[in-house]
Amino acid sequence: DTARAAGDDRSRGQVMADTLIERLTGTPGGITGVQIQLVMTDRTLLRADAEPARLPGYGTIPAEPARAIALAGGPAAANPLAGPSGMEELDLWVRRLYTVPGSGELVAMDSTARLFPAGLKRFLQVRDDTCRTPYCDAPIRHHDHITAWHTGGPTSVNNGQGLCEACNHTKETPGWTAQTIQGQRHIVATTTPTGHTYHSTAPP
């Protein structure tokens, strides 16, 4: 009734259903996002090449619409994916695919995505076992970039560590720094605001 009085154009039943889904899933309307895997060459993306792109599960699409999808994120009029939901902006994650010159055989892939993929999360859970902060052995709840993602830290095994929620939030406060130290096992050096540095080595 409050939503309707505030001008919500949904019916009372729709508001009730949407509220139930939001409280069960923790996301508005149960929406958690859609991922589109669009594969194209750097020439098509950056140099206006005419080579078509590939949309897995659908097939090839012309270069121009592929570029429009890849560069979506502006006003709704310029965004081919913006629909009636009013989502004018989309998150864009770029993964580089490495191929063998000549044969084109796919040999590797990296990711600039901020979130750790499910397989990498499982790896960090197994490798670290508990929170990597030296004085904490709480269960891992967060998968953390040792060098922060927003400062250029990659989403990778060497730059990832498992932390409990409290330690991850603490690490983000001013004065805290962390870095990976090269060694036989994964070592993280954490420096506190007092200037003390503590080392954490992944368990055997």
pLDDT digits (tens, 9 = 90+) for 35-88: 778 888 888 988 889 999 988 878 899 999 988 888 774 333 333 444 444 444
| 90-127: burial string, b at 16+ Cβ within 10 Å, e else | beeeeeeeeeeeeeeeeeeeebeeeebeeebbebbeeb
Percentage with pLDDT > 70 across the chain:
85
- Token couple for 142: 């967060």
Amino acid at position 41, single letter: T
What pLDDT is attached to residue 29?
Answer: 65
Whose CA is closest to 165, among 196, 149, 144, 186? 144
**201: how many CB neighbours lie within 10 A of its CB?**
14
Residue 116's alpha-carbon distances to 37, 121, 135, 150, in angstroms, are 17, 6, 25, 14
Cα–Cα–Cα angle for 45, 70, 91, rounded to 5 degrees = 140
pTM score, two decimals? 0.52
Residues 175, 196: Cα–Cα separation, whole Å: 11
Pairing of strands 197-201, 187-191: antiparallel
What pLDDT is attached to residue 83?
Answer: 42
Residues 29, 15: Cα–Cα separation, whole Å: 10
Confidence of residue 164 (pLDDT cuts 50, 70, 90): very high
Phi/psi at 123 (5° precision): -60, -45
Residues 70, 45: Cα–Cα separation, whole Å: 8
Residue 54's alpha-carbon distances to 70, 90, 91, 149, 204, in angstroms, are 12, 20, 19, 29, 43
Task: Looking at 40-141, list the stretches that DSSP marks H as alpha helix, in order from N- to C-terminal side.
Answer: 42-46, 63-70, 118-128
Beta partners for 197? 191
